[in-house]
Amino acid sequence: MRRRPQDGSLTLWLAVLATGLFGTAGLVAAGGAALAAKARAESQAFAAARAGAEALSPSSLATGHPVLDPAAAQTAAEKALAADDTAGQVQVAGRTVSVTVTAQVPGGLLVLVGVGSLHVTGSASSTATPGP
């Protein structure tokens, strides 16, 4: 029986195809994890900002002109972040509470190309406004 020069070409083609498919699967999995982590960070930031914006000064409530208590707003937002077991930055300016949450997501198969983790950030602001 005579050997053809194409013996093994299917194996090489399959190896290249499998490598590409695993690489694509790794990108999809890491991208999905990063998107989910970003959504979670934004949700946590919004919840903390809302908690901070609800910290109104008791004396201003008595006068009928509610004003945000900056120290209480900072504390409330930080407590909300701690309840979610996450770290973030809280800023209070006037009647607005802004929160930024950062997280690291494992890179999954991207570690093979030198990407050990992905950095995601979520931020939200909430403003204390008087009701109708």
**Cα dihedral sign, 34-40-43-44:** negative
- Distance, in Å, from the CA atom of 67 to the CA atom of 46, rounded to the nearest integer, reads 20
- Distance, in Å, from the CA atom of 123 to the CA atom of 89, rounded to the nearest integer, reads 9
Q: What is the mean pLDDT of the chain?
A: 86
- Distance, in Å, from the CA atom of 47 to the CA atom of 129, rounded to the nearest integer, reads 17
pLDDT digits (tens, 9 = 90+) for 34-62: 999 999 999 999 999 999 998 888 777 77
Q: What is the mean pLDDT of residues 104-127?
A: 86
pLDDT digits (tens, 9 = 90+) for 60-87: 777 777 788 899 999 999 999 999 999 8
Tokens of 121: 């950030």
Name the residue with tokens 């937002």: 77
Q: At residue 1, does pLDDT exceed 60? A: no
- Distance, in Å, from the CA atom of 45 to the CA atom of 66, rounded to the nearest integer, reads 23
DSSP-based three-state secondary structure for 100: strand
